Every structure is written in C-alpha cells, then in structure tokens.
Amino acid sequence: MSTGTTFAAAGAAPAASSARAIRPRLSRDDVTLRLLVLAIVVALVVFVVLPLSALLGKALEDHDGAFVGLANFAAYFGDPALAGNLFNSLWISALSTVICVTLAFVFAYGLTRTCMPGRGVFKAVAQIPILAPSLLPAISLVYLFGNQGLLKGWLMGASIYGPIGIVIGEVFWTFPHALIILTTALAISDARLYEAAEALRASQRRIFFTVTLPGARYGLISAIFVVFTLVITDFGVPKVIGGQFDVLATDIYKQVVGQQNFQMGAVVGVVLLLPAVLAFVGDRIVQRRQAALLSARAVPLIPKPNRAVDLTFFAICSVIALAVLVILAVAVFASLATFWPYNLTPSLKNYDFDNMDGGGWASYGNSLTLAALTAVFGAAIIFTGAYAIEKTPRFGAGRAVGQLLALLPLAVPGLVLGLGYIFFFNDPANPLGFLYGGMAILVICTISHFYSVAHLTATTALKQIDPEFETVSASLKVPVWRTFAVVTVPVCLPAILDIAIYLFVNAMTTVSALVFLYSPDTTLAAIAVLNMDDAGDIAPAAAMATMILLTSAAVRIAYTVLTRGLLGRAQAWRRR
C-alpha cells in the first residue's frame, strides 16, 4: 500500500553501519571560524581573565608575596574608615541612581510619549555628557558651587566638596546612559494596550500605573543596574569633588598610587567587583525577559497632542536641558577666561598645556592616537570575533565560552581591570611583560574594558542579517572569508562604524583603567585633566576636558555627516 517508500529498501545498508553516529567532517571554513573563536577566547582569557586572577591572587598575599588567605579582607573590614567607604559608595550610588533614573524617565517620557516642541533638540542636548570625561561636570561644579563659586549661596552653607557634589556630578554624567535605555523601553510600548485601556475608560493616572510603568519595567530595571554600576565604579567625579569624602573608587587609587599598598588596593578592587558583578547578572536576567517582550508584534504608539501635558513636559525638560548646558558651558567658559571669575577677558592661556603638569599637548596627541588605534583595531577585532561566535556552525561549547567571555568585561570596573593589568603584566615572569609601559597596553586595555557593549552591538547587527547567507555561500562553494568581506561587512557597516565611534569616544574620555597604566611617554588627555586638577590648575584642567569634549563631538558630527553623505551614496542599495 505504501508505494515508493520501499522501492529499494532491500538494498538498504546493513542496520549496524547505519546506526553509527555520524561525525560531520569539517570544511576549511569550519576550521577557519573555529580557530577565530578560539583566538578570541584566548585573547579574552589573557587580557581579562588572567589579569583579574592576578588581582584576586594579590588580594590573598602579604607584602612579601606570601599567601595569607583572607587576612587582608579581615584587615579591610576591621578598619572602620575603610569599611565605611564601602557604605559611602553604596548609598551615594543608590541616591544618584534614584535621582538619575527618575529624571531620565520623565525626560524619556517627554521625548517618546508627548508632542512637546523641540524634542529633537532636547534629545541631542541630553546626549552631550556622554562625550565628556566624568571629570568635566565635577570641575564645573567646583566653578559653580566651590569656595569661590558663582552660586555658592544656593547651597546654604553646605559644601559642594563631598556627597552633594558627587551625586550631582554622577547624575549629570550617567543621565544619557539611562536616557538611551528608557527611551528605547518607552518607544516599544504597544499602542493596542492604550486603546484597550481607553476603551475601558481607565483614567490617565490609572493607565500610567497599569500600562505605562509595567511596560517600561524592564527598561527601568536595566537603567537602574547600569547607572548604579557606572556610579559605584566611577573615579573621576569623586576624585575631583569628593574632598575628604572617600568612596571605593578613590580608595583604590589612594591605596595604590598614594600608599603603594597593592595588596589593600586589590582587596578594595575585589570588594568593588562584587556589586558590579551582581548588577551585571541582574541586568542579564532582565534583558533576557525583555527580549521575549520585544518579539511580540506590537503596534507602535503615536502620541496625540495635549496642550497641558505637552507644556508641562516642555517646562520640565527645558530645566533639565538647561542644567546640562550650564554645566557644560561653565567648564568651557572658565577655560577660556583669563582668570575665572575675576577676569573674564577671553584668553587661550589655559590651553598652553606645555607649560603645565600633566604631559602637555603631547597628552592630547597620545589620546588621539589611543582613540584612533582603539577604534580601528577594536572595531575590527570585536566585529570579527562576534561574527565567528555568531556564525560558526555547531561548535556550541566553544561559542558559549566565547560569548560568556565577551560579556565578562561589562562586569569589570575599569579601575579593577587596570589594577589587574599592573599585577599581571608587571610580573617579571610574564612573557607579555614587554607590553607594559607602552601605547600597546593602553590600546589593549581600552579595547578589553569596552569590549562587551561593542560586542553586543555587533551581535545584534549580525542577528538581523539573514542567517542563510553563509549557507548559500557554502552551497556555491564560496569561502566564508569572501562572503564576510563582500557581504557581511558592507551590510553591517553602520553597526561597525557605531562601534568604532563608541570606542573612540570612550578611549578619549576614560580615566579609570588607564590611570594605573600610562607611562611618562604615554600620558593621556583625560589623565592630564586629573593631574592638573590635583595640582590646583583647575582652569587648564577645564581646558583639557573641553578639548576632549570638542574632539568627541567633532568625531560624532563628522560621522553623522559622513553616513548621510558619502556613505549614503556608496550604500545606494539600502534605498528602494
């Protein structure tokens, strides 16, 4: 009855041989891709995992390198001054997070859910702080509220040097990070839910608490984790404006740079690693849930004009945007004044870096070199690595390890990574020790430090292109590298450029990891800001921070112009 199936069944291979499990042979492409995955795994082990283990090892040693178990930790927690700094860090971070996320939520709501005028301008202004090192807002706050500050009276006798200054500076600096996450979360909400709620005659207030907030909850949680981690691991703001108020990040710096107590520095590093890792794990869990939420077919919500609401949000957002602009402008103006605030005649004397501490204009040149190298090599390596991890057929274990390692740097504070680098690369027994003290280690450290976000951007872009490109190529006997070069890279070019810009800006602005690693030949602009501020040269510090801001902004603007113009023409295929 069943025709055909049994046609040649008599000639079937003996059962014994057909029952043997098939081990697919590897093609040349398979081998290439697997080697790439392994290369990334090895690189991340050498440049992230081993330095971290070196740090952990150091925390368990005494001054002479003998193993002492948890004795250093006991000493740390036994010292009320030191353990108190942990408490300081926690409450400062919690407070900054609450303020920052609340403001960012209101701002994001205004941008996505109202028809207030000037949304484009607001959005652009709110992004600017990301282009500056965290030292810049701190310096501005000194000018505004410091001992000779313009608005000192506003504090009613309280001092900006301490918790108040740190919280304001951190909120300013982390605001764009929270805003990006919350704008995305609020933008994906489903219009149908609102229509249903309105059809049921729910009040606006009730709709907000039953539809809007729950819809954005993953974004909110994610923003909380991200901001908390950024604040607790940030070093620039508390260093400049913390005064006598110590937090974990400044503690590490003092232990290592001030007292040369590497063991205690390592202990503080481990303590700092814990909240960062916890926040990282929490965020990962939330992200996974949100992915499920996103895949549902939602109808995008288009806000309807409402005069009262729109004007209210316009007022609130104007105040926030104005605060951002004032903080930015103060640093810029102060750097351009002859002697702020007594002599406001414009002058470039603060830009005469060569006659000051911090390495002079060479620092700025070094920073440009670092940023360019990080952007070029980082984008190439991270994108290629993400491609291999994403597209290698089978090889599940290798790819899983690669993915895990690629996300690991997100949980590692810059200071901790930098400290790990000292212990690992400065070890005379390390054959890679020759890297220490040069530009190479700065580039490697920066790429490692910012690996995860870039990797996630690359992975998202790669997931969006057709998964069958590689299959089709293989069936056409085209080697995988050719498809990578001819198809994947051009199609993903916007994401690759995004990664390059991200790395460039971060390399320009970062202080934390590199503060332990630069040498007299490789002084950097952001670290010069720190050192000039330390030496009391606040105006030149503001000037250098301004240079960093302008450079980042220029690169970003050039990028926008380039993608709209030149690149747009080369990518004609994107248009219908």
Partner 1 sequence: MLDKSAPLAPAQYAPAPHVPPPPPPVPYLEVRGLSKRFGPFVALQDVDLDVYPGEFVSFLGPSGCGKTTLLRAISGLDVQTTGSIRQAGRDISDLPVSRRDFGIVFQSYALFPNLTIADNVGYGLVSTGRPRAEIAKRVEELLTLVGLSEQAKKYPAQLSGGQQQRVALARALALSPGLLLLDEPLSALDARVRARLRGEVRDLQRRLGITTIMVTHDQEEALTMSDRIVVMSRGRIEQVGTPDEIYARPATAFVADFVGKMNFLKGRLVTADHVEVAGATLTLAEGIGVGAGAAVTVCLRPEDIVVRAVEGDRPNRLAMQVGVMEFIGNHFSTTLHAVGTSLNLSADLSINDVRDLGICPGATITVVLPPERLRVFPDPPATGH
Is residue 572 a contact point for partner 1 (CB under 8 A)? Answer: yes
Look at the alpha carbons of 183, 187, 189, 194 in this order and tell me if their dihedral is positive or negative.
positive
Span interacting with partner 1, options 206-214, 295-303, 475-483, 552-560, rule CB under 8 A: 475-483
- In whole angstroms, how close is the CB of 454 to partner 1 at the nearest point? 22
Span interacting with partner 1, options 20-28, 194-202, 260-268, 351-359, rule CB under 8 A: 20-28
Residue 411 corresponds to which tokens in the numbers above? 């949980």
Nearer to partner 1, 205 or 477 (CB): 477
Span interacting with partner 1, options 21-29, 407-415, 516-524, 561-569, rule CB under 8 A: 21-29
Nearer to partner 1, 29 or 533 (CB): 29
Q: Give the three-state DSSP class for 339.
A: strand
Span interacting with partner 1, options 207-215, 244-252, 469-477, 545-553, rule CB under 8 A: 469-477
Residue in 158, 348, 472, 535 binding partner 1, rule: CB under 8 A: 472
Instruction: Give strand pairing partners of 337.
Output: 346
Is residue 563 a contact point for partner 1 (CB under 8 A)? Answer: no
Nearer to partner 1, 473 or 546 (CB): 473
Is residue 569 a contact point for partner 1 (CB under 8 A)? Answer: no
HSE of 160, CA atoms in CB hemisphere, 13 A: 25
Distance (Å, whole) CA 370 – CA 378: 11
Residue in 102, 203, 464, 471 binding partner 1, rule: CB under 8 A: 471
H or E segment and range at residue 449: helix 439-449
H or E segment and range at residue 343: strand 343-346
Q: 530-534 long-range contacts, Cβ below 8 Å, gap at least 24?
A: 530/135, 530/236, 530/239, 530/240, 531/357, 531/358, 531/359, 532/356, 532/357, 532/358, 533/135, 533/139, 533/239, 533/240
Count of chain residues binding partner 1 (CB under 8 A): 50
Distances (CA, A) of 538 to 136, 341, 357: 11, 12, 11
Contact 82, 251 (CB under 8 A): yes
Is residue 19 a contact point for partner 1 (CB under 8 A)? Answer: yes
Distance (Å, whole) CA 252 – CA 254: 5
Is residue 260 a contact point for partner 1 (CB under 8 A)? Answer: no
Please state the separation of Cα 79 from the chain's center in Å: 33
Residues 6+ apart with CB under 8 A from 161: 146, 241, 242, 243, 244, 245
Nearer to partner 1, 201 or 575 (CB): 575
Is residue 497 a contact point for partner 1 (CB under 8 A)? Answer: no
Residue in 156, 157, 475, 569 binding partner 1, rule: CB under 8 A: 475
Residue in 1, 81, 302, 397 binding partner 1, rule: CB under 8 A: 1
The amino acid occupying position 303 is: P
Nearer to partner 1, 295 or 343 (CB): 295
Give the x/- contact pattern for partner 1 in 376-395, rule: CB under 8 A: -----------------x--
Is residue 476 a contact point for partner 1 (CB under 8 A)? Answer: yes
Span interacting with partner 1, options 3-11, 115-123, 165-173, 275-283, rule CB under 8 A: 3-11
- Interacting residues toward partner 1 by CB under 8 A: 1-9, 12-13, 15, 17-30, 393, 466, 468-469, 471-479, 482, 486-487, 490-491, 571-576
